[in-house]
Each structure stands twice: as C-alpha cells, then as structure tokens.
Structure 1
C-alpha cells in the first residue's frame, strides 16, 4: 500500500514538473513575442508619423502647383488665341508620363510605392511656335510637376492607409499578449508551483510518518528480543548482512 502511494505521488510530481516546464516555455515565448511586436509597432508608428508629415507637406505644395498650372493654362489659351484642348486630345495616341509601382518593406509590412517616369518624347514640342510658345512650354512644365505631385500624394496616401491598418492590428496584438496571454500564463505557472509545493509537503509528511512507524516497529521488535533474551529463549545475534538486510531507515533531506 505504501509503495502504491509512493508511486502515485511520484507520478503526480513528474506530471506537475512537465507542466511547469511547458508553461515556462510558453511564458518565455509570449514575453519574447511581446517584445518583438512592440518594437515592430514602434517602427511602424515612426514611419506612420513620417508619412503623415509628408502628406501634409505635399498637399500644401499641391495647392500652389495646381494654382500655377491653372493660371498657366489660361495664359496659354489667351496667347494662342483660343482653346486647343480638342486638337491635343485628337492627336494623343499614348501617354508620355507613366506610373510604375513597387513595394517598400517596413518591419515586415509591404507598403505600395508609386513612381512616375517619362516614356517617349514630347510630340507637341513645336506647338505654339507661331503664337504663345513660351506660355505653352510653361504650361507643360507646370502640369508635369502637378502630375508628379499627384502620383507622390497617391503613393503616400496608399502607404498611410496600409500602415494605419497594420499599426492598429499590431497594437491589438501587443495589448492582448500583455494584458491577457502573459497574465494567464503567469497565473497558471503560479498555480502549478503552489501544487508542487503542496505535493512536496505531502511527500515529506508521508515519509516522516513511514519513518515513525518503522521506528515503532523496531522498538517493539527490540523489546520482544530483550524479553526473549531475559527468558533465555533467544540465541546471540549473528553478524548483520548489509546486502540482505532491508531494514535501513529512510533518509529525509
């Protein structure tokens, strides 16, 4: 019976130790993940604020550029003596300013980036030589600058929206790990440690009781031997055999 109790107690201790080791590993992983996610959130927020500042700057500049472009269009129409929009639209076969896209990686997040570039030559380079050539050249420069700014603004706003969603998601994950997962693991680990302490106290108490019972049994046996010796019914003891003798006391540490 005592052997069965000892086996059950050792099995419980072994299970609790395994659970403690597993929970410590999970807690360590959660803390490391929280640290990495927090660094990622800080990097994303830094880039987010940088993009926000560029958007404000670009929008402010866009107002001046569009104003200059609209004014130069009025000047060109006045200098050329009429509206030339229809003639330009009828002769345009392909766009000279085109857009290409790429991805910019920021802390594991891909942000869309748009760039404008020129493809081909100006088909209307000689337009306005007869009248208003200077205003026409100024018109092209201003509208080209306006298109480049619009592309930059679109790129910044696309990156801004993507970053906004990723920052919110990352912050939610950081808060969930910090306020839900880590405290849950810590409470579970504290409970396992308290259970281990209780099992160790029970095991110590069990061994102590076994030791007391063995001591009582030895004392009883010695009294019986002493009584038999006194009655002359018991021979002298032979030398003890350390291999055969199994009456050694349990040691408590």
Structure 2
C-alpha cells in the first residue's frame, strides 16, 4: 500500500484523537450543509427577482427610447449639446456588500447629483418638457439596469459559493468521515486483537507457573519421602520400608 494509505498506529490515544476528528468533521458537515441550504434558498429567490427585473428593464428601456424619440422630434438633435456640457458625472455608482451565510455579495447602488445635471438648460426655446421626461425615463431605465447588474453579479458569486460549499459537503460526507470511521474501526479491531493476544499470553504464563509450581511441589514431596522413610528387618532378613 502507498504511504498515504497507511493506517494510524493502534493505541488508546490515537483512538481518542480519531474520535475527536470525527466529531469535528460531523459538526463541520452539519454547518456546511446548513450554509448550503441557506445559500440555495437565497439563490432561488434571487433568480426569481432577476427574471422580474429583466422584464421591468425591458419595459423601461422601451419607454426611454420612445421618450427620446419624442424629445428629438420636439427639440431636434440635442445629443451633441449634452455631451459638450458634461464636466463631472451627475450619476455615480456605489458598491457595498451583503453578507449571506458568510458569503459577501456585491450590491450596486445608484447615486444621483441633480446639481451636476446639464439637461435642465436644454429646451428653453422648445421641447423642454419632453426633454425632462426623456431624462427621467432614462434615469429609471438606468436604475433598472444597475439593479439587474447587481443581481446578476451577486447571482454568479452565490452560484460559485454554492458549488464550493457543496464540494466540501460531499468531500466530508463521502471521503473524510468514512475514512475516519474506517480508521476508528481499524484501531478498535487492532486493540481488541491485542487484548485477546495479551489474555492468551497471560493464560499461558499462568499455566506455565502452575506447571512449575506443581513440579516443584512433587519434587519436594519426593525428597521428603526419601528422607523420612524407615528401614526394618524381619526375622527372615527381608528389608521392609
């Protein structure tokens, strides 16, 4: 077998260590499973929100395009004037994060500074009202676009986090915990075998001691009989012990 597949040394200390590892792995598996479930619930909710936001953004973009067409019909082509008058951005993007079960999801927030907007100076002669309507329509469409971008970015981040979490859950469930349980079973089997061997050895040692004690006792009895025996002679000169 390869060195990476060697079993741990069977001992009581190793057994306690492996049992502690099993408890830790089981707790980690439970926590990761709960995390995966929480992320999956949020993932499904976000998917539903993305579908609704796409539909709303389509309607907003259609409304904004129609408003721009009306503004150009009323005030002419004013795109060049808008581009030339822009000095600083009136709309900026702020990025924050939302923590979902330890996963930080990016959130894009639209910030609007109306004092920097230059569209208000246009349409003084004609078309001012429709230009303002087109501006508001495009602002709503931009809000929907940013909201969709935020949801999709968080969606991909959440999807990757769910895949990583599920891989860890499967690794703990299918590889780590069974391997620890196999090591624990191996250690228990080896310790039981050692106990049986020790018991048999002690029995053999005890049997040897008993044999030696019995032999020594027999020798002592033999010696005592030889020293204490009396010799008598009868009338026929026969020797009697």
What TM-score comes out, normalization by structure 2 length? Answer: 0.85
Q: Which digits, 9 at most, give the CA deviation of each residue in 1:179-205, with x for residues without a partner?
A: 111111111111111111110000000
1:193 to 188, 196, 200: 188
Q: Which digits, 9 at most, give the CA deviation of each residue in 1:14-70, with x for residues without a partner?
A: 952122122112222211111111111111111211211111110010111011101
- State yes or no: 1:93 paired with 2:87: yes
Match of 2:105 in 1: 111
- State yes or no: 1:124 paired with 2:119: yes
**Following TM superposition, by how much is the alpha carbon of 1:146 offset from its aligned partner in structure 2, in angstroms?**
0.7
**Following TM superposition, by how much is the alpha carbon of 1:125 offset from its aligned partner in structure 2, in angstroms?**
2.3
**Following TM superposition, by how much is the alpha carbon of 1:120 offset from its aligned partner in structure 2, in angstroms?**
4.4
**Following TM superposition, by how much is the alpha carbon of 1:119 offset from its aligned partner in structure 2, in angstroms?**
2.3
2 CA distance for matches of 1:169 and 1:126? 53
Between the two proteins, the alignment pairs up a number of residues equal to 219
Match of 2:140 in 1: 145
Gaps in structure 1 of 5+ consecutive residues = 1-13, 234-253
**Following TM superposition, by how much is the alpha carbon of 1:143 offset from its aligned partner in structure 2, in angstroms?**
0.6
- State yes or no: 1:172 paired with 2:159: no
- State yes or no: 1:27 paired with 2:27: no
- State yes or no: 1:36 paired with 2:51: no
Match of 1:225 in 2: 220
2:53 to 36, 58, 79: 58
**Following TM superposition, by how much is the alpha carbon of 1:129 offset from its aligned partner in structure 2, in angstroms?**
4.0
Match of 1:161 in 2: 156
2 CA distance for matches of 1:40 and 1:61? 31
2 CA distance for matches of 1:124 and 1:152? 24
> What SS does the aligned partner of 2:122 have?
coil
Superposition CA RMSD, Å: 1.6
1 CA distance for matches of 2:219 and 2:124? 136
Q: Which digits, 9 at most, give the CA deviation of each residue in 1:87-126, with x for residues without a partner?
A: 1111111221111111222111111111001124133324
2 CA distance for matches of 1:61 and 1:54? 10
Kept in 1: contact 2:97–2:105 (CA 8 A): yes
2 CA distance for matches of 1:23 and 1:99? 52
My pick for the range that moved more, 162-171 or 219-228, is 219-228
